[in-house]
Amino acid sequence: MDIAVFLTAAKAYPPPQNPDGTQMRFSYGTAGFRTVGTTLNSTVFRSGALAAVRSRVTGRACGIVITASHNPEFDNGIKLVDCTGGMLPTSWEADAESLANAESDDEMKRVLEKLLALDEPAESLHPPPPPGLDAGNIPYVFLARDTRPTGPELAKAALAGAKAAGATVDDLGLNTTPQGHFAVYASYRGAPNTEEAYYKRLAQGYASLLKEDGDHDDSSPVEPIFVDCANGVGAGKFTKLINAVEETGVSIPIKLHNHEGTPGTLNNQVGADYVQKEQKPPKFGGFDALPSNAKCVSIDGDADRLVYFYTDENKKTTLLDGDKIAALVATHVSGLLKRCGESLLDPVTKKPLDVGVVQTAYANGASTKYIEQVLKMKTKCTPTGVKWLHPAAEAFDVGVYFEANGHGTALFSETAIDRIRTVAENSDGSLPADALRALKSLLALTEAINPAVGDALSGVLVVEAILQAKRWGLRDWNTMYSDLPSKQVKVKVQDRSVITTTDAERRCMTPSGMQQAIDAKVSEFGNDARAFARPSGTEDVVRVYAEAATREGADSLAKEVSKVVYTFAGGTGDAP
């Protein structure tokens, strides 16, 4: 890389200044940089270069998505995609931040030289790509953006940064975060990586799932699915997916709401984040006029999250969140594995595939109990953010991970896929027919689900196929377990970094005395009560979560813990 060329190009992207004349600082949060879109030009330019450097160091293509996901329309951000399709390794975050905040050419040069000197061939960190695969032009960067008004300008800056660092840029234009990840994932494996190829793969996986699990020829679901697209990038992509599904000869009765051309703005009282946090239907899109108990889904602005919900005759809305999706997928996977009998045991050690569910502290206590005690599956709790859940899920042969907010997927290791495929293809009639169908169904699931990151679009296909296989409606699904009432609130403080946490963010280490005060409050709300506070990595707030045996209990515990945070961590504005 010619650093001098990069430094010259960087002159066109000077970092913005604070009102006091100091240089504005940017922090790498839960999912990359995220803040007011109009301030991000320099950060995005520099991150474009960082993606190119990451590609150079790993010898494989990497990616960038310009999005602020579920945040309001005026925010924007950048998500960096590592060469295998996952997120930038956490070990690079501090350098990404140093590059974004460098105040001189020398500082930028130092960070770039440090990173360029790293010797991290992709194979040393991840399963190697297929032997003999030509990596193409390296550095190579895929670029996608969502529908925000600042998107085009920022995408230009990212492109300029990547090019100034010597990269070839593959501009995917308006696209979802999961498509950005999939393009990189597929390119790493030498598989077709276009949008068309991706939707075809999902559609074929879905059609095979219906075929293997259905009892009759046309097992397409018929009940309409009303999808709130949050006025984001997902709506147009759903249309492509529906077409790809129809080309396979099956159908999916999706009706799109809150998309381009309809009133309302991105993520504003619509979308998965609103519906999950408020536990209410979207304010716009005509959801109040739908028939009672209609099947509804909300996705977020970059289409990597989904939650289901329905509103009954009494106008009571029931949310089926990421935890319920995880339980549904986990129960289906474990059912299929049981039907495969001993065919999937390790040929040498005779051990079964290691299956687990990964959650965060926000997972409803009832879901964890259900997965462990009823499904008898392992669970693991990680800090918030896909960058923590994904690697934890990769440690299993089959790892299902979902955040309560609906972000997640199911990962099948190469070993698991190879074993399933080998057994299915070499059964010679020796396997019972039902076991063979279960094996094929597992293979179909690996195709219908995004293997790189959560995807609301593939999520709908997978949920629908499972519901169809079980002949379940949303009410049946909901009876898997009853959520403990929970409440999430935000507390504004002067500097949220004064709060540090441990134990997968379930306990605070600082400010001193705050955890003891939280514990004292929790102990007043009975055995099922639980609460924690952590600084958000995407918004300038502290998030407080509480759950308890009753709605009143959860609400008042959240309020009490907010007061504790306000007192100990320097609250600003009105006290909770």
Applying the rule CB under 6 A, the residues between 30 and 59 that interact with ligand NG1 are 30-31
Dig out the tokens for 337 from the structure: 């594995």
Q: Which residues in the 283-302 window bind Zn ion by CB under 5 A?
A: 300, 302
Verify binding: residue 539, ligand NG1, rule CB under 6 A.
yes
Q: How far is the CB of 305 from ligand NG1 (least distance, A)?
A: 7
CB 42 within 8 A of CB 13: yes
Residue 334 binds to Zn ion (criterion: CB under 5 A): no
Q: CB neighbours (10 Å) of residue 556?
A: 17
Q: Which of 42, 47, 55, 69 is catalytic?
A: 69
Q: Which residues contact 297 (CB under 8 A, 6 or more apart)?
A: 225, 226, 227, 228, 306, 307, 308, 309, 456, 460
Among 179, 279, 331, 405, binds ligand NG1 (CB under 6 A): 405
Q: Of 73, 75, 97, 304, which one interacts with Zn ion (CB under 5 A)?
A: 304
Report, in Å, the least distance between residue 361 CB and ligand NG1: 9
Strands 28-29 and 355-360: unpaired
Least separation in angstroms between CB 77 and ligand NG1: 9
Residue 69 annotated in active site: yes
Instruction: Note whether 364 binds ligand NG1 by CB under 6 A.
Output: no
Considering only residues 48, 81, 543, 568, which one is a binding residue for ligand NG1 as defined by CB under 6 A? Answer: 543
∠ CA 554-557-558 to the nearest 5 degrees? 85
Q: Which of 433, 361, 377, 432 is nearest to 410 (CA)?
A: 377
Site string for Zn ion, 13-52 (x = CB under 5 A): ----------------------------------------
Query: Look-up: residue for tokens 């959240």?
Result: 558
Q: Which is nearer to Zn ion, 15 or 151 (CB)?
A: 151
Q: H/E/C letters for each residue in 534-552?
A: EECCCCCCEEEEEECCCHH
Q: Which is nearer to ligand NG1, 177 or 441 (CB)?
A: 177
Min dist. Cβ of residue 302 to Zn ion (A): 4
Told to check if 212 binds Zn ion by CB under 5 A, we report no
Interaction of residue 538 with ligand NG1, rule CB under 6 A: yes
- Other CB atoms within 10 Å distance of the CB of residue 316: 9
Residue 390 within binding range of ligand NG1, rule CB under 6 A: no
Kindly list the distances between the CA atom of residue 184 and the CA atoms of 51, 57, 189, 311, 563, in Å, as whole numbers in the listed order.
12, 15, 9, 39, 44
One DSSP character per residue, 6-41 reads HHHHHTTSPPPB-TTSSBP---EETTEEEEEGGG-H
Which ranges constitute the DSSP H helices of 104-233? 105-116, 122-125, 151-164, 177-188, 195-213
385 binds, among Zn ion, ligand NG1, none (CB under 5 to 8 A by kind): ligand NG1
Could you check whether the bond before residue 149 is cis, i.e. omega within 30 degrees of 0?
Answer: no
Q: How many residues bind ligand NG1 (CB under 6 A)?
A: 14
* Residue ranges binding ligand NG1 (CB under 6 A): 30-31, 69, 362, 384-385, 403, 405, 407, 536-539, 543
Residues labelled as active-site residues? 69
Q: Which residues form the interface with Zn ion (CB under 5 A)?
A: 69, 300, 302, 304
